[in-house]
Chains A and B, each alone.
Chain A
């Protein structure tokens, strides 16, 4: 079973719909005890980092996430929260992945980045098995993490940014696989069966 972590912010329905389509059993919960029963976990997220970290702390999920050993996939804001720090609302995040999340600040660059952009795997990772380099995924974000030691795929929007990161049991994608058509479903299936 895949546990979808509900901390009171985020579009959980779309992730659930995508997992249903793959025939993968899933449940949505905010309880660490319940989520501990899942084989794998997904941390979705939309909205702002400050509010999300506050909700995670209030739900009692912060320490639990930091000590998690099961495979975890963070999506969009869910990925950004895995870093040490986000400049959005000057927020201390989970510290599972080293680095800081910063705003797009290229003059003339429209923000948020909204739409389909190409993703280029930088190192071998099972998440991208059978997905061609340069495949389009759907992005919606105003903040990004610069490529670093944990980056396994990048994209370019004014600057090069981390499109996917991996660190031990932790994975994060800046795009929305649940909204990225067949390529997104492929990636979710890879997470379920290979990670």
Chain B
């Protein structure tokens, strides 16, 4: 872990719940969506099993789905005593304030920040940088060549932009993001390991914590994200929803490799 003499600060394991119309769903490379359960019940279960934080992303397209999502934020806040981030379609500072008032601790911005980067500064001014997460969906420009960089995609991974991910990350942090959530679209749901080059490039470029997302399939993959990718936290969905590995097994496995973990 070259950068960050953060000592015994535990590396975080963050289960991610993609919520659509009140249900947790999961796809592969942002497609083939399937049901994975009730969000409040899953949040409670993961919290009891040792999750360090949670992320809830609203992927509903409808207004009803959106209202349901805010209800879910309130219910999750009452059900768990660990921090959680919410995101998905939040595009105004008032929505940020509502999400935090409903009980969320942080808000993540993806498409809305790309379309209007000042949103990050406005949100940071209102609620503080510590509550502002820049979520970046990145896809390699040339699959075998990290030197070529990564394209930033928006709208749930359906639309490419002109932005390069590492440059955008630098800018987002300069504007006020206190944390980065970096999802490799190439690896999402594949359970074949994180994009370590992407993580290394991002953690070199910025001084805020980097959360690795997309590709966890085993304890070894997560260990690589910390030890080789210099990630501060990892986000995973499929491995937990599918029961490939439990949070407890994962954290014990990582602790055995010398990675600081909060064990219960």
B10 touches A116 (CB 8 A): yes
Beta-carbon contact of B9 and A17 below 8 Å: no
Task: Point out the residue from A46, A115, A158, A184 that lies within 8 Å of B128, measured CB to CB.
Answer: A46
In-complex Cβ contact of B208 among A48, A112, A118 (8 A): A112
Given A110-B209, A158-B5, A184-B81, A46 and B127 contact (CB-CB distance below 8 Å): yes
The number of chain B residues with a CB under 8 A from chain A is 36
Cβ contact of B105, chosen from A14, A20, A106, A184, cutoff 8 A: A14
* B78: A residues at CB distance < 8 A: 17, 20
Interface SS of A by simple majority:
mixed
**A115 pairs with B130, CB closer than 8 A:** no
Is the CB of A128 closer than 8 A to any CB of chain B?
Answer: no
B100: CB under 8 A from chain A?
yes
**Residue interface bits B227-240, CB-to-A below 8 A is 1, else 0:** 00000110000000
* 7 residue pairs, one from A and one from B, having the closest CB atoms: A47-B128, A116-B10, A136-B262, A116-B262, A110-B4, A140-B130, A179-B83
For residue A142, CB closer than 8 A to chain B, the reply is: yes
With contacts defined as CB atoms under 8 Å apart, how many contacts are there between chain A and chain B in the complex? Answer: 105
Q: Is the Cβ of A179 less than 8 Å from the Cβ of B128?
A: no
Q: DSSP class of B's interface residues: helix, strand, loop or mixed? A: loop
Residues in A whose Cβ lies below 8 Å from that of B36:
none
Q: Within 8 Å of chain A (Cβ to Cβ): is B103?
A: yes
Q: B residues touching A (Cβ–Cβ < 8 Å)?
A: 3-12, 47, 52, 77-78, 81-83, 100-103, 105, 127-131, 178-179, 207-209, 232-233, 262, 264
Q: Within 8 Å CB of A141, what residues of B?
A: 130
Q: Is A115 touching B12 in the complex (CB atoms < 8 A)?
A: yes
Chain B: minimal CB distance from A184 (Å)? 6
Q: Is the CB of B179 within 8 A of A179?
A: no
